[in-house]
Amino acid sequence: MDTGKVYLDNNATTPVDPKVLEEMLPFFSERFGNAASRNHAFGWQADEAVQNAREQIAELIGARPQEIIFTSGATESNNLAIKGITKNHEGINGHIISCQTEHKAILDPLKQLENSGFEVTYLRVDPDGLIDLNELEAEITDRTILISIMYANNETGVIQPIKEIGELAHKRNVLFMTDATQAVGKIPIDVDELGIHLMSFSAHKMYGPKGVGALYVKSKIKIDAQIDGGGHERGMRSGTLNVPGIVGMGKACELCLQFMSNDETRLGILRDKLEQQLLRISGTSCNGHAEKRLSHVSNISFEGLDGEKLLLSLNEIAVSQGSACTSATVEPSHVLKGMGMSDELAFATLRFGLGRFTTEAEIDFAVEKVERAVTQLRH
């Protein structure tokens, strides 16, 4: 272990698995063809690699290869899904249901739609971070066109009741979308079994490269493109495909299918050890449902401390105060506030994200450093 670099921010991004990098490298050099070039072997080879990746990704989530649309990442996937579905409902007073603790890549597009005349209902969560299914059902009307609820929260790891939401959506004939960026590759997902119509996710959250992601679009569902220019990806997303990235994403999904069960068990043990030792510090508390959360995520508050000063004291450890996408802001976490936490305590909270390459020695090192930093700051 390099004690100068302990990485515990795997919810922000993960390192590329060496096997993923090995798979990608030839597509930067000798296999450099454009997958849309239909007239020669270079293009055929690239297209074959893309289709193979589509199959690898589809297998991981229980989908069909043709239901996978490649994008630049989950943010683009979210925008494509939300704006693409609502395009046909402009001017008819459409209604969308989402949640207060969604990622900004969902909340910001929804704000734009509100400015265009759509009505959006933001469900509350309880102190454990879970929505109330009865409240969700009560909010569905004959104008509701979409339910968008995150699969697993990026700050707390809390897993929403996705199957039950899918059943409600089916019963009321409403489309169901989920941002599953933190969940895909970490826990088993079967989109058909769960009743999901649209699902976004990114390669770089599961040991693949940055700059590539996907949107699952259930067969027969039509979404309007947000990028025009060639009609790629079944007319839903134009542009030259990032073949090396797509190949890497496919390999990352294949590896997740192989290692998911072992990773989940091992990281759960390490996460529990981390929490048990840190919660011995006075004035600490763990946020999010004790059981309905991802096994590798821990969100811990340190009462009476300035979280920014605590972070600066932990310069040998990579952790965060919340979402990587909001780390430049000085606002308290909207996720923790949505769970009923005070601004003061939200500012005194750290997120630990363990990963495939996290070791027990690194957990021991992190605990020692956090304990020392908390003691020094309190005295």
Residue-wise pLDDT for 104-125, tens only, equals: 999 999 999 999 899 999 999 9
- Please compute the mean of the pLDDT values over residues 310-325 and round it to a whole number: 84
Q: Which stretch of 67-71, 94-98, 306-310 has the lowest confidence by average pLDDT?
A: 306-310
Q: Are residues 293 and 366 in the same domain?
A: yes
- Is residue 27, in this structure, part of any structural domain at all? yes
**88 has a pLDDT exceeding 80:** no
Torsion over CA of 320, 322, 324 and 328, rounded to 10 degrees?
A: -90
Catalytic annotation on 325? yes
Same domain, 292 and 208: no
Q: What is the pLDDT of residue 322?
A: 64
Task: Provide mean pLDDT across the span 67-80.
Answer: 98
pLDDT tens track for 199-248: 999 999 999 999 999 999 999 998 998 888 888 888 789 899 999 999 99
* pLDDT in the model for residue 182: 98
Q: What's the pLDDT at 1?
A: 46
Residue 185 has pLDDT above 90, yes or no: yes
Q: Please determine, for residue 89, whether its predicted confidence score (pLDDT) is greater than 90.
A: no
Banded pLDDT at 325 (limits 50, 70, 90): low
1 within some domain: no
Identify the pLDDT of residue 307.
Answer: 84
CATH number, domain containing residue 355? 3.90.1150.10
Least trusted range by pLDDT, from 34-48, 55-69, 250-264: 34-48
**Mean pLDDT over residues 64-68, rounded?**
98
pLDDT of residue 233: 86
Residue 324 confidence (pLDDT): 53
Predicted confidence (pLDDT) at residue 90 exceeds the cutoff of 90: no
Domain termination residue (choose one: 255, 284, 316): 255
- Is the model's pLDDT at 196 over the cut of 80? yes
**pLDDT of res. 4:** 55
Same domain, 162 and 297: no
> Of 238, 255, 272, which marks where a domain is finished?
255
Same domain, 191 and 55: yes
Whether residue 110 sits in one domain with residue 177: yes
> Are 222 and 300 found together in one domain?
no
**pLDDT at position 3:** 45
Which CATH number do you get for residue 127?
3.40.640.10
Number of domains in the chain: 2
pLDDT at 327 over 90: no
Task: Please report, rounded to a whole number, the percentage of residues in the chain having pLDDT higher than 90.
Answer: 85
Residues 238 and 277 in one domain: no
Are residues 269 and 250 part of one domain? Answer: no
Please indicate, yes or no, whether residues 150 and 33 belong to a single structural domain of this protein: yes
Stretch among 63-77, 313-327, 340-354 having the lowest mean pLDDT: 313-327
Strand 317-318 versus strand 6-7 pairing type: parallel
Average pLDDT value for the chain = 94
Please, which pLDDT band fits residue 349 given cuts at 50, 70 and 90?
very high
In a domain, 46, yes or no: yes
User: Are 228 and 366 members of one domain?
Assistant: no
Question: Looking at the structure, do residues 301 and 217 belong to the same domain, yes or no?
Answer: no
Domain boundary residue, one of 255, 274, 295 = 255
Instruction: Say what percent of the chain tops pLDDT 70.
Output: 96
What domain range is 38 assigned to?
A: 18-255
Q: What is the pLDDT of residue 5?
A: 86
Of 322 and 353, the one with more pLDDT: 353
In terms of domains, do 265 and 126 share one? no
Catalytic residue among 99, 253, 286, 325: 325
Residue 115 is assigned to a structural domain of this protein: yes
Say what the pLDDT of residue 44 is: 85
Q: What is the pLDDT of residue 2?
A: 52
Q: Is residue 125 part of a domain?
A: yes
